[in-house]
Amino acid sequence: MQSTAAVHRSRTLGGKPHAASSLADNRFVHALKPVAAAPEAFPAAQATLLEPRAHLDSILSGVLQDDPARMAQIQQKTRDAFAAFAASSHPDRAELTDALMDYVSPSTGYHVLMNAAACGHRSIDDFVHAMNHKDYRGADGVEKYCADFIGFYRLDGDVTDSDSDSGDEAERFTSFDLESAYDDLTGRTRTLQDFLSAHAVDLSGVKLVHGVAAGNSAPYSVAVDPRSYLKAFIEKSPIVYDSFISTTSDTATALAFTGYSKLPGVPAGALDLSDTSSAANAHRRALLDQLSNPATDPNKAAILLVMDCDDAKGVYLGPETTGQRLDEQELLLGPNHVVQPQSLVYGDGFYVLSAKLTAADDRGIA
């Protein structure tokens, strides 16, 4: 069992990151312009025994979408889970639909706040202080964050360019009470957590895909610090998600979350992270050195996390199971799952990460 010293726990909104700061959800799609990294930025592919193209095909094959029978089974078990929760004695069972609708509505930003609540932040003040973001320190940090968050998601009505130029934007936005909204969402987050804890479907043997969003709007979104995230992955450190994880059954949908319609570039190299040979270690050091280079900007990269589930649990959210019209279909997993890095393939402008996903307590991680 890996020592907890090597465990990196996901934090909310790119605050003060550990080696793998991230939020589990990836609902906000950043408007990233696909800018490919320079080809010479990557170590030579021959530094590993894995053939990049073949390994990429292997990672991306066999995702849940390729198994209609298993998909139908998961959908049916999800319907059974909703029915069981509705028939339970949970005091807030009637609130589950509202909780789900809040979570799957990306335009409000509520999913960000629900992930923060799932991580244990009891109030917006607690959340902002824990984030320790340079822009939100000091006595007025919470008030400024609330104004910026409301402005980012336009929660107080549309703002024209002329409004923004006038300097009155923050004043207009503060009329929306984000602190009260956070308090309401905390209760709904708890209901969603209770539902997933008691009724989530066993996803063992299923391969899911998570598009890892990266960008400069981390304080208001679920974007990760890609440099830290990739560094932890290459070092094979378990990444613990304290919040929800939104995943998909297919590569195309996950890729769209990163701002791309296809992988930008061709595979340049692949690395088996269990390989401890001198060639593999040299390859690993070269990748880490490249990530440490200020000229490298992984914010512009497409990052896909492909996970083989091993005792992970979640539910399928779509019209087939919720009876609601949803903008997106996804497999939602509750907090306390662990990503165990296995291998990766990289190219000019992308990283495809292969990992095992299991429950945190199954790895002895608290």
| DSSP-assigned letters across all residues of 20-83 | T---S---PPP-----PPPGGGSPPGGGSSS-HHHHHHHHHTT-GGG-HHHHHHHHHHHHHHHH
Alpha-carbon span 366 to 363, nearest angstrom: 9
Q: Phi first, then psi: what are they for 60, rounded to 5°?
A: -85, -10
Tell me the per-residue pLDDT of 255-276, one tens digit each, with 9 for 90 and over: 998 889 999 989 999 999 999 9
Pairing of strands 302-309, 350-359: parallel
Report how far apart, in Å, the C-alpha atoms of 55 and of each of 250, 332, 346, 354 are.
Answer: 17, 27, 11, 10
Average pLDDT over residues 330-350: 95
Domains of the chain: 4-90+199-363 (3.90.176)
- Please tell me the pTM assigned to this model: 0.83
Q: What is the mean pLDDT of residues 144-167?
A: 70
Count the neighbouring beta carbons within 10 Å of the beta carbon of residue 190.
Answer: 16
Query: Whats the size of the chain, residue-wise?
Result: 366
In the predicted model, what is the mean pLDDT of residues 130-153? 92
Q: pLDDT band at residue 175, thresholds of 50, 70 and 90?
A: low
- For residues 107-118, b (16+ Cβ closer than 10 Å) or e, as one string? ebbbbbbbbbbb
- Kindly report the three-state secondary structure assignment for every residue of 234-286: HCCCCEEECCCEEEECCHHHHHHHCCCCCCCCCEEEEEECCCCCHHHHHHHHH
Find the range with the poorest average confidence among 20-24, 49-53, 80-84, 239-243: 20-24
Residues paired with residue 117 on neighbouring β-strands, in sequence order: none
| Average pLDDT of span 310-331 | 89
**6-20, 36-50, 217-231, 341-355 — which is least confidently predicted?**
6-20
What phi, psi does 275 have (nearest 5°)?
-75, 120
Provide the residue type at 136 as one letter.
Y
pLDDT, tens only, 183-193: 999 999 999 99
